[in-house]
Homo-oligomer: A and B are copies of this chain.
């Protein structure tokens, strides 16, 4: 039952191919709609190998989900607690960092939201996203700026909805937006690249007191 600890195993060829295929299919179809046979086919492996290497569909999914979340959170954790950067700077870093990350894997935002939605309880027990955000330097700086009259909107939640929404919504709604704009994947990607620079500008003008 145990995997052998040899060169053949260490190069992870089969195991890695299964994970890669699982990631692609889970991202595209979500947990409920993907069949283990989909993953096996995408990976070009015998169906039984999935269970040989990962025990079950659920275990494999959990691994993919944790890795995905880890990448996703790693990106933000460093930025939002940096005492040495200003609010404006953080906004630029977050917009650019997230858009770059997601451009490489455009299905991640929808995937994460979809699975969080069907399993919110378990999720927030493991990843205390509320604590992380509320106790961040970023939020402290936001409140200070609002108190000093530099920002009109006192509720950081409205700000988060607008800011993160501007970043994520285009990816979440990409099929509709591509249809509306008659965009192919490349043209869409160019638009997202543009937004890296423009979102901070828009956010800036939107937050300023009139």
Contact surface of A with B, Cβ cutoff 8 Å: 29-30, 32-33, 110, 113-114, 116-118, 120, 124, 129-130, 133-134, 153, 155, 157-158, 160-162, 164-166, 168-170, 172-173, 175-177, 179-183, 191, 194-195, 198, 202, 205-206, 208, 210
**A169's contact among B114, B117, B165, by CB below 8 Å, is which?**
B165
* Complex alpha-carbon distance, A27 and B46, angstroms: 35
Q: Are A176 and B210 in contact (CB under 8 A)?
A: no
Q: Are B172 and A113 in contact (CB under 8 A)?
A: yes
Given contacts A162-B202, A165-B169, contact A157 B177 (CB under 8 A): yes
* Complex alpha-carbon distance, A130 and B176, angstroms: 8
**A129's contact among B32, B155, B179, B194, by CB below 8 Å, is which?**
B179
What secondary structure prevails in chain A residues at the interface with B?
helix
Q: Are A205 and B210 in contact (CB under 8 A)?
A: yes
* Complex alpha-carbon distance, A15 and B153, angstroms: 48
Q: Are A180 and B134 in contact (CB under 8 A)?
A: yes
* Complex alpha-carbon distance, A169 and B162, angstroms: 8
